[in-house]
Amino acid sequence: MTSASPRLVEGSVAFLGLGVMGAPMSGHLASAGRTVTVYNRTAAKALAWVAEHGGRAAPTPAEAVEGAEFVMMCVGNDDDVREVALGPNGAVSGMSPGSILIDHTTASARVARELAAACASVGVGFVDAPVSGGQAGAEKGALTVMCGSDDEEVFERARRAVGPYARACERLGRAGAGQLTKMVNQICIAGIVQGLAEGVNFAERAGLDVDRVVEVIGKGAAQSWQMDNRASTMARGEFEFGFATEWMRKDLAICLDEANRNGARLPVTALVDQFYAQVVARGGRRWDTSSLVHLLQND
């Protein structure tokens, strides 16, 4: 950071990445009265967002973050994070001392720690803040935000900033803890969705009415969010909802890589990841995660 860094403007926001999650999340910030500067690698998306929500679009991350107190980022993977935050014309190079980078990307704990160190070296706060709730949660402004930060005060400022799209926001530990918690979330979801897929397929083959079965067992110990929201569409073979299979595979790869480092055993997660690979091979790259049932219905 040089002495020429723009002076921080209190309350100002930049949002980097306007995909299926970032576009509605940043939209909630605008609806809450924030003036938002946006950046997207496909510039047309940024211009379309501005046409709908106001604010302005910037051609590079460094220009987008000039003077911003809070910079939210939601991109694809570790390489994208490094490019947008630390690459040529990256966000960190343009941020003002005292500002905070909040990374909503689901990425590795390793890259979160890299960003924390890079931000600290230039007087910028950092929070790794992956989210759960999917596209529907982003559109409703009802995401769960899992955070890691080396500074409690930085986290508290970030928690207030993400309020327009978060129904819950908690700090789980130092930098990287948010990403590790998101890994736990995805590990649990993988097993639940596979179990639900097997149950739905079993009910179908047994000649039962799936909706009635789910209505009954959903009042007991088998109940889950996935059952409430995906059992019926599974039975109908509809997979155009929520989180895409290709992104789940990306997340599970992060989980399995971390497990190789920390010694955790993830036999079910590894198996479900291979099932998702089969879904992708059948053309289901963009089907949602409930498409595991397709392998059972069409074996």
- Three-class SS state of 239: coil
Distances (CA, A) of 158 to 12, 100, 224: 13, 7, 30
Assigned architecture for domain 9-174: 3-Layer(aba) Sandwich (3.40)
Cα–Cα distance, 200 to 222 (Å, whole number): 12
- What confidence tens digit (pLDDT) does each residue in 251-288 have? 999 999 999 999 999 999 999 999 999 999 999 999 99
At residue 3 the predicted structure's pLDDT band, cuts being 50, 70 and 90, is very low
- What confidence tens digit (pLDDT) does each residue in 204-220 have? 999 999 999 999 999 99
What are the DSSP E strand ranges found in 121-182? 125-128, 131-132, 143-147, 166-171
At 253, which helix (H) or strand (E)? helix 245-262
The gap between the terminal CA atoms of the chain, to the nearest Å, is: 58
- pTM, two decimals, is 0.94
Among 45, 140, 182, 250, the active-site one is: 182
Say yes or no: do domains 9-174 and 180-297 share a fold.
no
At 227, which helix (H) or strand (E)? helix 225-236
| Longest pairwise C-alpha distance within the chain | 72
Q: Is 182 a catalytic residue?
A: yes
Assigned architecture for domain 180-297: Orthogonal Bundle (1.10)
What's residue 2's pLDDT? 42
What percent of the chain is helix, strand and coil (3-state, nearest 5)? 55, 15, 30
Q: What are the extents of the domains in the chain? A: 9-174, 180-297
How many CA atoms does the CB half-sphere of 116 hold within 13 Å? 23
What mean pLDDT do residues 55-83 have? 97
At residue 5 the predicted structure's pLDDT band, cuts being 50, 70 and 90, is low
- Cα–Cα–Cα angle for 226, 228, 234, nearest 5°? 65
What mean pLDDT do residues 150-172 have? 98
